[in-house]
């Protein structure tokens, strides 16, 4: 008990001190707390009903959709924000939402958990429902085994056999978890094409996880996602209980789809554009209904939630809308290009490439992205601005992609970059890597009057 009180106090004080120093989003408060009480997360999580999200892409956006449903229902709920999704950040969030003696102030939590941290986090926390979005290769482990990420998630899940798992049926890696775990499982997926003309991408999982035979596909939605089937051992896409059965409309502001959820049909408006957000929405509906929300409540939440930190955020720069979309791997980047090429209106494209640790220090992943797709925009592509620490590598990549010299411009200074964006007459789409996003977002928020990210 003394340990708990000490650890919580230390955590709260450290956090307060950092806030007074205007430094948000660090791992320090949680680190201090865990040093004093290594099982603090388990102690604090005991009386909280947790919905946890893990997987490579879509965690943050999906977590915001889930949070919206709790807010709509008036249920007291907290969540970890601003990318603090390792055990330190998650522990700090629980401490912040507990009394000094460790009693929770709120009954529910939506927790985003890094795949690599799931073993440590699930060693302590006992979520009711766990959503696994997908497994893609990150640029960080470009030369590592993709099954390493899957293994981390598996090890985490093996601590919590009672949790209901919501798994992406279209991801052969994620779906395979069902075969190895005793948990109750709910599958979700997309039964129809997401794009008229999908990018031909490098598949992160082209061969059967169990027998190494190449998969056959009835449908590829993007990357390695789709209706996969192994012709040799018979491992195939499981039938999803929650599925998108028709894409009715896709615009720059959102999508309208038809979903089937445990046999009930629903028309769903998704308050974010692009195909990968359709996946996030169907995953959110599967998780929320597993948590006990009605289908109507889940559908309402994905229809009006507000977008998270850097994942397709919208800024108003003078008369010009600026959309910022974080990219962290080739699959995510290809999805943005898919989205861009589906737009009917002209657009200026901005890429900010950094090579700090959190971005991936090896930038050669940009050669796995189909930037050639930009050429299909023709006159609708008004220009491409390139910035960030590795802007010259990016400019070279775009030159190889065939982007005309007169449309390509390198601007190293962010203030100059924002001025150039403000001078545009067409909407702007910015694709930064993680640390580039932090810098650019801070400057853009100042110009456009946004909030600091740790608020
Ligand atoms: Zn097989």
- State pLDDT tens for residues 68-113: 999 999 999 999 975 688 999 999 999 999 999 999 999 999 999 9
Q: Which residue has the higher pLDDT, 44 or 199?
A: 44
In sequence order, the β-bridge partners of residue 166 are 131, 186
Distance 224 CA to ligand 1 centre (A): 15
pLDDT > 90 fraction of the chain, expressed in percent and rounded = 62
Distance 185 CA to ligand 1 centre (A): 21
Report whether pLDDT(141) > 70.
no
Report whether pLDDT(450) > 60.
no
Per-residue model confidence (pLDDT) at position 226: 94
Distance 141 CA to ligand 1 centre (A): 25
Residue with tokens 């999982």: 205
Distance 143 CA to ligand 1 centre (A): 24
Distance 206 CA to ligand 1 centre (A): 11
Q: What is the dihedral of CA 354, 377, 56, 437, to 10 degrees?
A: 30
Q: Which CATH superfamily is domain 311-448 in?
A: Mur ligase, C-terminal domain (3.90.190.20)
Q: Is 449 left (phi over 0), alpha (psi -120 to 50) or beta?
A: left
pLDDT > 70 fraction of the chain, expressed in percent and rounded = 93
Distance 452 CA to ligand 1 centre (A): 48
Report whether pLDDT(350) > 90.
yes
Tell me the CA distances in angstroms from 281 to 72, 257, 278, 326, 359, one per residue in order: 16, 10, 5, 18, 26
Q: What is the mean pLDDT of residues 394-400?
A: 95
Distance 231 CA to ligand 1 centre (A): 7
Q: Which residue has the higher pLDDT, 424 or 156?
A: 156
Per-residue model confidence (pLDDT) at position 343: 73
Distance 213 CA to ligand 1 centre (A): 5
Per-residue model confidence (pLDDT) at position 140: 54
Report whether pLDDT(384) > 60.
yes
The residue ranges of DSSP E strands in 9-117, in sequence order, are 49-54, 77-79, 108-112
- Flag the least confident range among 128-142, 238-252, 410-424: 128-142
H/E element holding 247? strand 242-250
Distance 230 CA to ligand 1 centre (A): 5
Distance 267 CA to ligand 1 centre (A): 36
Per-residue model confidence (pLDDT) at position 451: 47
Domain boundaries, the chain: 2-304, 311-448
Tell me the CA distances in angstroms from 217 to 179, 277, 391, one per residue in order: 20, 22, 37
Per-residue model confidence (pLDDT) at position 383: 92
Distance 107 CA to ligand 1 centre (A): 43
Distance 147 CA to ligand 1 centre (A): 15
The pTM assigned to this predicted structure is 0.79
CATH class as words, domain 2-304: alpha beta
Per-residue model confidence (pLDDT) at position 180: 96
């Amino acid at each position: 008990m003394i340990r708990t009180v000490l650890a919580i106090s230390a955590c709260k004080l450290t956090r307060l001190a950092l806030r007074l120093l205007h430094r948000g989003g660090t791992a320090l408060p949680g680190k201090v707390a865990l040093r004093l009480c290594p099982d603090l997360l388990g102690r604090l999580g005991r009386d909280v009903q947790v919905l946890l999200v893990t997987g490579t892409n879509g965690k943050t956006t999906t977590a915001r959709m889930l949070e919206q449903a709790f807010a709509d229902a008036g249920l007291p709920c907290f969540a970890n924000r601003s990318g603090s999704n390792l055990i330190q950040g998650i522990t700090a969030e629980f401490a912040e939402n507990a009394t000094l003696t460790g009693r929770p102030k709120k009954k529910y939590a939506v927790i985003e958990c890094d795949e690599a941290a799931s073993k440590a986090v699930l060693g302590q926390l006992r979520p009711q429902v766990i959503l696994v979005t997908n497994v893609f290769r990150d640029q960080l482990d470009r030369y590592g085994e993709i099954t390493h990420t899957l293994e981390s998630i598996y090890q985490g899940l093996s601590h919590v056999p009672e949790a209901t798992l919501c798994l992406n049926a279209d991801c052969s890696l994620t779906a395979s978890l069902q075969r190895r775990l005793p948990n109750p499982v709910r599958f979700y997926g997309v039964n129809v094409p997401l794009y008229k003309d999908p990018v031909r991408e490098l598949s992160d999982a082209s061969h059967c996880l169990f027998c190494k035979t190449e998969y056959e596909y009835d449908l590829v939605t993007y990357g390695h996602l789709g209706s996969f089937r192994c012709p040799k051992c018979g491992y195939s896409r499981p039938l999803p209980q929650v599925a998108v059965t028709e894409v009715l409309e896709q615009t720059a502001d959102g999508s309208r789809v038809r979903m089937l959820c445990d046999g009930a049909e629903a028309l769903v408006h998704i308050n974010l554009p692009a195909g990968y957000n359709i996946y996030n929405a169907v995953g959110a509906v599967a998780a929320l209904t597993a948590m006990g929300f009605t289908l109507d409540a889940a559908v309402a939440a994905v229809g009006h939630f507000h977008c998270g930190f850097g994942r397709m955020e919208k800024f108003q720069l003078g008369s010009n809308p600026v959309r910022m979309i974080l990219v962290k791997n080739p699959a995510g980047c290809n999805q943005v290009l898919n989205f861009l090429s589906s737009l009917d209106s002209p657009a200026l494209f901005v890429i900010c490439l950094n090579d700090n640790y959190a971005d991936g220090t090896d930038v050669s992943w940009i050669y796995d992205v189909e930037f050639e797709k930009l050429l299909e925009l023709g006159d609708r592509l008004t220009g491409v601005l390139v910035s960030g620490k590795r802007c010259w590598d990016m400019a070279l990549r775009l030159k190889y992609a065939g982007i005309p010299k007169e449309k390509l411009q390198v601007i190293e200074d962010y203030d100059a970059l924002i001025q150039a964006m403000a001078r545009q007459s067409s909407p702007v789409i910015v694709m930064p890597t993680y640390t580039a996003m932090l810098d650019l977002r801070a400057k853009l928020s100042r110009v456009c009057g946004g909030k600091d990210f740790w608020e």
